[in-house]
A and B are shown apart, each in its own frame.
Chain A
Amino acid sequence: MGVINNVTQEIRKEGLFQWMLRQLDVLITRLTTGLNWNDLRSMARGDEPRRPNPRLTVHSESFFFHIKPSYYHQSVTKIGHTFRLGLLSTYFFLIELVTGIFLMIYYAPTPERAYGDMLNIISGVPFGQFVRDIHRLGAEAMVIVVFLHMVRTYLTGSYKKPRQFTWLTGVILLLATLFLSFSGYLLPWDQLAYWAVTIGGSMIDKAPPPVLGKTAQLILLGAPAIGAAGLLRFYLLHVLFVPLIVIFVFFIHYYKVVRVGISLPSLQEEIGQDTAKRVPADKRRYYLPDVFTDEMVFLGLITFILLALIIFGVYPGAPLEHHANPNKTPLHTEAPWYFLWIQGLLKLGDPTIMGVIVPTIVFGLLAIIPYIDFNPSRKAKDRPVAIALWMFSMAVLVVLTWMGTPYFMVESPPAEEVVQIMLPEEKDGPVRQTDWELLTVGEWDTTQDNSAASFDVQQLMVLFNDLIHEEHEKVVERHEAKVNDLRSIRNPTPEEQEELAKLLATDPGLPNGSGKMIIENWQEGLKKVTMRVFWTPEGDSEQTFEKTFYIHDDSNYDGQ
Chain B
Amino acid sequence: MNNMMNKITVGIVVLLLTASIFVLFVARDEPARLPAEEANFAGRSVENGALIFEANCVGCHGVQGKGIPGVAPSINSPEFFTTRLQEVGYVGSLRSFIEGTVNAGRPVGSGEYSAKMATWGQEYGGPLRPDQIHDVASFILNWEATAVAGESTAAQPTPTPLASDASPIEIGTAVYTAQGCAGCHGEPGGAGLVGPNLGGIATRAGSTVPGLSAEEYIQQSIVQPNAYVVPECPNGPCAPNLMPATYGQTLAPAELDGLVQYLLTLE
Contact = CB atoms under 8 A, between A and B. Distances in A.
Interface of A: 44-47, 111-112, 115-116, 119, 122-124, 126-127, 129-130, 289, 293-294, 296-297, 300-301, 303-304, 307-308, 311, 322-323, 441, 443, 516, 518, 520-526, 528, 530, 532, 534, 546, 548-556
Given A44-B5, A45-B5, A518 B146 contact: no
Nearest to B5: A46
Contact of B16 (A45, A126, A300): A300
Majority SS at the chain B contact face: helix
A547 B232 CA distance: 37
Interface in B1-40: 1-2, 4-6, 8-9, 11-12, 15-16, 18-19, 22-23, 25-27, 30, 33-40
B83 interface: no
What are the 7 A-B residue pairs with the smallest beta carbon separation, nearest first?
Answer: A552-B43, A555-B43, A554-B43, A123-B37, A550-B50, A46-B5, A554-B39
Given A520-B158, A522-B50, A552-B43, A293 B146 contact: no
A301 to B, nearest CB: 6
Contacts of B19: 300, 303-304, 307
A253 B1 CA distance: 32
Contacts, number: 141
B142 interface: yes
B39 to A, nearest CB: 4
Nearest to B13: A300
A197 to B, nearest CB: 18
Contact of A296 (B12, B143, B164): B12
B209 interface: no
A548 B161 CA distance: 11
B260 to A, nearest CB: 21
A110 to B, nearest CB: 10
A123 to B, nearest CB: 4
A520 B161 contact: yes
A523 B15 contact: no
B37 A122 contact: yes
16 contacts: A122-B41, A123-B37, A129-B37, A130-B26, A297-B8, A300-B15, A304-B19, A518-B160, A523-B46, A523-B146, A524-B146, A525-B46, A528-B160, A550-B51, A554-B42, A556-B36
B174 to A, nearest CB: 11
A306 B78 CA distance: 53
Nearest to B65: A523
A520 B154 contact: yes
Max chain B Cβ within 10 angstroms of own Cβ: one of A45, A127, A523: A523
Contacts of A307: 19, 22-23
Given A520-B161, A521-B153, A526-B142, A124 B34 contact: yes
A548 B153 CA distance: 19
B245 interface: no
Contacts of B142: 523-526
B38 A124 contact: yes
Contacts of B15: 297, 300-301, 303-304
Contacts of B22: 307-308, 311
Contact of A530 (B18, B36, B47, B161): B161
Nearest to B151: A524
B106 interface: no
Given A293-B9, A522-B153, A524-B146, A552 B37 contact: no
A550 B47 contact: yes
A448 to B, nearest CB: 10
B108 interface: no
A126 B161 contact: no
A323 B131 CA distance: 8
